[in-house]
Amino acid sequence: MAMLKNDLMSISAFSKLSRVPRKTLIFYDQIDLFKPAFVADNGYRYYIRSQLDTIGVIYIFKELGMSLEDIRAYLEHRSPLSTLELLRKQEEVVQQQIAKLNLAKEMMLQRAENIEHSLNVDTSRMVVVLQERKPILRSCRVHESRRELNEELWDDFQERLHKENAPAGYPGGAIICKEDLLRRDGDIISYMFSFITTQHHEQEYMPEGYYLVSYTRADYEDTEKIYPQIFDYIDKNHYVIKGDAYEEFLLDEIVMKRPEDYLVRVMVYIEEPAKS
């Protein structure tokens, strides 16, 4: 079917309709990726509306990380089977990107909630709260002083977060196990953890129940200074340690310039307090 003059759009009109910059369209023409339907004697490029479908596919594949060379190879040899195979493959890419975006959103929400919570914190007080069960990702098991945590632990935990599609900088914390708490030792780390619903690791949980919550301002390696006060408070109020302690920084280097101003929350899992 012959093209009618009324079917043709100038490169400027096609650029506006497709939302692809004019310079990009010229570049695609020059590399034989996407050529205009007609080029006039004066060199002006013209396109037809049906080409919007093709430029749309190019844009989507490019956004999903395909190289221009791979896109060109697909367009040159496209068929129903090759298109189906490519679409299925790109569907997996899209699902991975959705997972990453969801966790990026979760990271921002967690950090925003931590900051909002920190604005009303009284570091001189300890409180008991009833905490719902929360999903976590744990690192491999260790038993080391927080000042001697090795590189392998950090690498292991970051690799686990990466496998879950969590972005760099996803908030995390440390777990001090019940056995060390009973020995009144708040320095020994058993796990690193993050609040996250896992897809590629066994799902662990911070148990539902009562927690003694305390806060202190400290750098990453100095949070054990709050534990003597925690143990004294537990003894004074006849609380019984039921499980682990969970440390998380509400304010860290993302928020504060001075490490001594970081704010850590420590939650110790205890038996339900006796009613007075």
pLDDT digits (tens, 9 = 90+) for 210-246: 999 999 999 888 888 999 999 999 999 999 999 999 9
Architecture of the 102-270 domain: Alpha-Beta Barrel (3.20)
pLDDT tens digits for range 34-53: 999 999 999 999 999 989 98
Q: Which fold has domain 5-75?
A: Multidrug-efflux Transporter Regulator; Chain: A; Domain 2 (1.10.1660)
Task: Spell out the long-range contacts of 53-62 with Cβ–Cβ below 8 A and sequence spacing 24 or more.
Answer: 55/18, 55/20, 55/25, 56/18, 58/28, 58/33, 58/34, 59/18, 59/20, 60/90, 61/86, 61/90
Q: Which of 219, 217, 209, 263 is nearest to 239 (CA)?
A: 209
Mean pLDDT for the stretch of residues 180-191? 94
Residue in this structure with the two tokens 């969801």, named with its chain if needed: 102
What residue ranges in 134-262 does DSSP mark as E strands? 134-138, 144-145, 173-176, 188-189, 191-195, 204-206, 209-217, 241-251
pLDDT at residue 97, rounded to an integer = 86
pLDDT at residue 1, rounded to an integer = 42
pLDDT tens digits for range 103-133: 899 899 989 999 998 998 999 999 999 999 9
Mean pLDDT for the stretch of residues 75-96? 87
Domain with CATH 1.10.1660.10 in the chain: 5-75
Domain with CATH 3.20.80.10 in the chain: 102-270
Mean pLDDT of the chain: 91
Q: Comparing 159-163, 166-170, 188-192, which segment has the lowest mean pLDDT?
A: 166-170
Listed ranges 9-18, 62-71, 73-82, 149-158; the one with the highest mean pLDDT: 9-18
pLDDT at residue 230, rounded to an integer = 96
pLDDT at residue 151, rounded to an integer = 81
